[in-house]
Amino acid sequence: MIVPHTVQQILFIVFGIITLGGAVMVVTRRNLFHAALFMIVSFFGVAGLYVLLEAPFLAGVQLFIYVGGIAILIIFAIMLTRDMMNPNVVARNSQWVPALVVSLLLCAVLVWIAGGYHFEGTPDPVPAHSLEILGQTLVAPDGLALPFEVASVLLLVAIIGAVTIARER
């Protein structure tokens, strides 16, 4: 039993419980709409962890993209799919064995990486202008400019593809 002695540790545990509890509920709910809502709860927990790490911008991005974008998209997909809410429909298909293998592999890799990491001493304090540094790194030619642009091009391709598919002929 870990006894928390600072406010930060209590908050960390609370956000951890929210994140993990939400995640567990997502995979155990039969009602897909409820599962999607619990996923949002889990996203909020992750946003809280970002705030604790003094990365408020990432917390905002987490809410903006995952809650405002991806979760909305998932709920739309749920609502627009026929028979998705019928409890009598079997909730798995013939691919459950490969899916199980892949998720176990992913879990093993994550545990291996996290277990191999040594936390030494206290980390350096977060610089006051972390937001400016992040922004400049994203567009600096010797920084992340290339991956940033490649990601943008990928999104552009996706948009054009969506328009092409949806276009009336």
Partner 1 sequence: MEFLSDLFVNIGAWFQGLLVSLNLPDVWVQIISMLVGAFLLAFVPLISMFFLIWYERKIVARIGDRLGPNNSGAFAGPYGLLQVLGDAIKMFTKEDVIPDNADRWVFNIAPMVVMAAAVLTWAVIPFGKGVIGSDLNIGIFYILAIGSAGMFSVLMAGWGSNNKYALLAALRGVATLVGYEIPQVLAVTAVVMVTGSFSTQQIVVAQDVPYLVAMPLTALLFLASILSELGRRPFDLVEADSEIVAGYFIEYSGMKFGMFYLAEFMNQLMVSVLFSTLFLGGWRGPFVDQAPVLGPLWLAIKAMLVMLVIQLFQYTLPRLRIDQILAVNWKLLTPLALVNLCALALVGKALPEDVGPWGQAGAFLLTNGALALILLGILAWAGRKARQREEVLRSAVVTSASAEETAPA
In the shown chain, the binding pattern of residues 111 to 140 toward partner 1, with x for contact by CB under 8 A and - for none, equals --------------------x---------
Return the residues of window 42-101 that contact partner 1 according to CB under 8 A.
Answer: 44, 56-57, 59-61, 63-64, 67-69, 71-72, 75-76, 79
Which C-beta is closer to partner 1: that of 27 or that of 163?
163
Contacts 24+ apart (CB under 8 A), 4-12: 8/52, 11/48, 11/52, 12/49, 12/52
Is residue 14 a contact point for partner 1 (CB under 8 A)? Answer: no
Contacts 24+ apart (CB under 8 A), 103-108: none
Tell me how far apart the terminal alpha carbons of the chain are, to the nearest angstrom: 64
**CA triplet 14, 23, 50: central angle to 5 degrees?**
50
Catalog residues that contact partner 1 under the rule CB under 8 A: 7, 33-34, 37, 40, 44, 56-57, 59-61, 63-64, 67-69, 71-72, 75-76, 79, 131
